[in-house]
Homo-oligomer: A and B are copies of this chain.
Amino acid sequence: MSATPPSSPQETSVTGAVEVFALLAAGELAAFARLADDAAHAPELRLRIVLSRMAAADLSPLDRVEQHVADLGVDPEELDDLIWEFREVLAEFDARTTPRDWWERLVRTYVGYGVFTDLERAVTAGLEGESAAVAAEVLGDAGLSDFVAATLRPVIDAEAQLGARLALWGRRTVGEAIGIAARLLQTHPELARSAATGLGLADASSSEQTTAVLNRLTSEHARRMNRLGLTA
């Protein structure tokens, strides 16, 4: 028996693309579940309807992702296993951050959606050709961040004590989100490599790449908390 031949560049690129698209699919499923759960807890009808619709919208790119990965010739079971694995890791964010009220719930969704969408956007940087085009198409923002910011900002501006509590909660939740992003990048170096390409660090070490991506996620988070009138 001969040893396994080294991967060709083409094979490496497909593996990377599969991991990236599995993360996008898992992110869509996790966002759907989180927003649907938020909708179920919404204190009044219009909020419930808006969040339910945003949950549904988050799911719609899934078709496109599945079709594209099938076009790449990937074994569907391999893809499903990877989506399931990523989804379980992403779900830990929710399991570890139980909100005490509606406002903490909205902040959690705002923080989690922001960090994980930034992570998804980052890891698509190394994609090329059709894969890059599909990723760009799939990664549209359904307006969730704007909606949550518009809902939270006036309440935070009006109640300093609530603002202080939510700032603390924002730090707690972003800690969990960044921890999960770190775990995904460390256990799947192809994701880190793809994201680092977009930061001009294609040749850096895997741990340097991970650190650079996490720094980017953290600074984007600070910018988002600023929109709420909170310090990250």
Q: Which residue numbers of A lie inside 8 Å of B, CB to CB?
A: 29, 32-33, 36-37, 39-40, 44-46, 48-49, 52-53, 55-56, 59-60, 62, 80, 83-84, 87
Contact of A37 among B40, B45, B83 (CB under 8 A): B40
Among residues of B, the one whose C-beta sits closest to the C-beta of A62 is: B49
Cα(A33)–Cα(B44), bound, Å = 14
List the B side residues contacting A44 at CB < 8 Å. Answer: 84
Cα(A84)–Cα(B44), bound, Å = 8
What are 10 A-B interface contacts by the 8 Å CB criterion? Answer: A29-B52, A32-B36, A32-B56, A36-B39, A36-B40, A36-B55, A37-B40, A49-B62, A55-B55, A56-B59
Q: Tell me if B45 and A53 are in contact (CB < 8 A).
A: no
List the B side residues contacting A52 at CB < 8 Å. Answer: 29, 32-33, 59
List the B side residues contacting A39 at CB < 8 Å. Answer: 32-33, 36
Main secondary structure of the interface of A (DSSP, over half): helix
Count of this chain's copies in the oligomeric assembly: 2
List the B side residues contacting A53 at CB < 8 Å. Answer: 59, 62
Cα(A60)–Cα(B32), bound, Å = 15
Least Cβ–Cβ distance between A23 and chain B, in angstroms: 14
Among residues of B, the one whose C-beta sits closest to the C-beta of A33 is: B40
Question: 5 more A-B contacts (CB under 8 A) besides A32-B36, A53-B59?
Answer: A36-B37, A36-B39, A37-B37, A45-B83, A56-B59
List the B side residues contacting A60 at CB < 8 Å. Answer: 56
Cα(A33)–Cα(B59), bound, Å = 15
Name which of A39, A40, A46 has the most chain B CB atoms within 10 A of its CB.
Answer: A40
Name which of A46, A48, A49, A83 has the most chain B CB atoms within 10 A of its CB.
Answer: A49
